């Protein structure tokens, strides 16, 4: 057993986790905003972010998306892009903003889109809220 956290197995696991996190952050920063919005919508629904009932902000959604990649250091970079994706959801009528709290809530159309798997159709304007 290595002293002071220098166990090669543990270091290898940490390095692999960081590599996965880096790859996911790069993917999220490079995908189309509508695709990112479609990935963000489930945060507002059943089984999404724990705080969804009291509304979500962009940082909360970014945290939810990166749940499997804790301690990433990418949240600060991702949050503005997530904010843009949430704006796309709002324009499509899938989430609504509560101005007093600056938090977003899922709309009935958003729930329907999640149930039907039609989020991309709403975002593309093929379906209307």
What are the tens digits of pLDDT across the range 11-68?
888 888 888 989 999 999 999 999 999 999 999 999 899 888 899 999 999 999 998 8
Q: Give residue 75's pLDDT.
A: 87
Q: How far is CA 52 from CA 11, 30, 104, 115, 124, in A?
A: 36, 26, 8, 17, 24
- Report pLDDT for 70: 64
Q: Is the pLDDT of residue 116 over 70?
A: yes
Task: List, in order, residues 6 or more apart from 34 with CB less than 8 Å away.
Answer: 85, 88, 120, 123, 124
Token output for 116: 């039907």
Which residue, among 84, 87, 106, 110, has the nearest Cα to 96 in the 3D structure? 106
Locate the domains of the chain by residue range: 8-123
94 Cβ partners below 8 Å, 6+ apart?
41, 106, 107, 109, 110, 113, 119, 122, 123, 129
Return mean pLDDT, the chain. 90
The pTM score is: 0.86
């Amino acid at each position: 057993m290595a002293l002071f956290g220098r166990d090669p197995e543990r270091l290898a696991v940490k390095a692999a986790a960081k590599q996965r996190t880096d790859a996911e952050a790069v993917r999220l920063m490079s995908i189309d905003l509508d695709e990112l919005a479609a990935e963000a919508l489930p945060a507002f629904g059943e089984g999404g972010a724990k705080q969804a009932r009291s509304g979500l902000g962009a940082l909360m959604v970014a945290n939810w998306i990166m749940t499997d990649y804790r301690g990433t250091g990418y949240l600060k970079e991702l949050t503005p892009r997530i904010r843009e994706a949430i704006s796309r959801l709002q324009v499509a009528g899938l989430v609504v903003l509560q101005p007093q709290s600056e938090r977003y809530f899922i709309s009935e159309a958003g729930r329907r889109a999640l149930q039907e798997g039609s989020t991309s159709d709403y975002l593309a304007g093929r379906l209307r809220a």
